[in-house]
Amino acid sequence: MSASSNPNFKQLRVAVVGGGIGGLAASVALRRAGHVVNIYERRDFNVEVGASISCAANGTQFLREWDIDIPHMKPVILMKLVMRDWETGKILNQYNLDNYEKEWGNVYNMFHRQDMHATLLKTATSPEGAGPPCTVVIDHICDSVDYENGIVTFKNGVIVKADMIVGADGIRSVVRQELGIVPQVTSAPQTCYRCNVERSVVDDLGLVKYSYEPAIHYWGGMMGRNGRSKYYKIVMSPCSGGDIISFYCFMPTEMTHHHEEGFVFEQAPVKDILVGNYDELDPNCVNLLKNSIERLPWRLYVHQPYPYWFKGKACLLGDAAHPMMPHQSQGACQAIEDAGALGIIFSDKYNFTTDVQAGLAMYQVIRKDRATRVQTASARATENLNERIGFTSLTPHDASLAAASGKLTINEMNSYRMHDHVAAEVLKLGS
């Protein structure tokens, strides 16, 4: 977007702390808005976890708006949500997405995290495309933030001054700490292992071809026979053009052998996943898990919503602002929406580039309530799979009941128009 269309537009120097999906999305959005963006990442990018990422229509629309090369991310376009019986694999419920694109204007994409990250990084830094290319600096660990003066100090002694600081540094955000936010956190009653199965292995061994269907499959997630805990759940989906089948294997927290924290773990043995009621799991699913690779533990936490998302010239985004349980498959989409809001608010359509703090206040108005609602609904879906977006909308009757009860629906997520929301809130400021 050209600055010439608004004489009050000021090109900002933006420091994005964190180069994950959210940080890169914010960088692309702000680049497209005409700003100079520097991305500071604490470690190299080759440690990105290889797992699937859901990108529903509310996220896909911004990827298109930013002119992202979506085919380069090797998406699988989702067509079904399938709920299966834990023991037999029998289909218990199914939500079809045949008319999804026609209804919402965008498809539901499943990406492999590494494919998505690589494409966002390329888009952010490429000399091609609108806006000045972003720069990336690795091995920079944030030490402190002066949010009033826009200064970030890193542990290696580097000091950076910026017009705006975006804290996209994840669930253990240093930027959030520097803004004075003390998280109220509890360990989730459920933990997870992420692993992958290569499609070539499925073919070579003649394993069941659940993954050949462009669908997310669920096992468990509700109280089962013989008192099986509702915290036993599996989410399986194809990604990377169908070449990889991604599994999220959930269990009660007390069943896991892994309690350490950190970014890098040794691969867990299959026996660490197949514990407790996994011995009753659909044998076809068990055979897939036995032939999995990249088995890594993932500790889960429940964060209460934070009281604010910004101070001075610094704001939070993605997991730094609203870490959530994974059961609505909206974590990435909500980070993308955060990025979309920053790109719109600090575009030349408005005058917030001359008052960054006012712009960040608007960002909080636009994003905090919606993201908090998704965060809260994700915690509820931990306890009841029927709270999952999609299963709350199986029929128009179900959808109206869901809306009346406060459950998230596909309509609520995908009919939202952020450009209109920002315009309406800006109009209020002038009235």
Question: Is residue 363 within 8 Å of residue 209, measured between CB atoms?
Answer: no
Dump pLDDT digits (tens) for 235-245: 999 999 999 99
26 Cβ partners below 8 Å, 6+ apart?
16, 166, 168, 317, 338, 339, 342, 343
Q: DSSP character for 398?
A: H
Please give the Cα distance from 19 to 6 (Å, whole number): 30
Q: Can you give the C-alpha Rg of the chain in angstroms?
A: 21
What sign for the dihedral angle of Cα 364, 316, 28, 109?
negative
Domain positions in the chain: 9-76+108-185+303-430, 188-302
pLDDT for residue 1 is more than 50: no
Please give the Cα distance from 195 to 208 (Å, whole number): 17
Fold adopted by 9-76+108-185+303-430: FAD/NAD(P)-binding domain (3.50.50)
Please give the Cα distance from 287 to 265 (Å, whole number): 24
pTM for this one? 0.93
Among 148-157, 255-264, 377-386, the minimum mean pLDDT is found in 255-264
pLDDT of residue 43: 79
**What is the percentage of the chain residues whose pLDDT exceeds 90?**
79
pLDDT of residue 211: 75
Dump pLDDT digits (tens) for 360-410: 999 999 999 999 999 999 998 888 878 888 776 555 545 555 555 678 989
- CATH architecture for segment(s) 188-302: 2-Layer Sandwich (3.30)
Average pLDDT over residues 217-241: 90
Strand ranges, E, within 80-226: 80-84, 91-96, 109-112, 135-137, 142-146, 151-154, 159-161, 164-167, 185-187, 190-198, 215-220
pLDDT for residue 261 is more than 60: no
In single-letter form, the type of residue at position 289 comes to: L
Does the fold of domain 188-302 match that of domain 9-76+108-185+303-430? no
In single-letter form, the type of residue at position 271 comes to: K
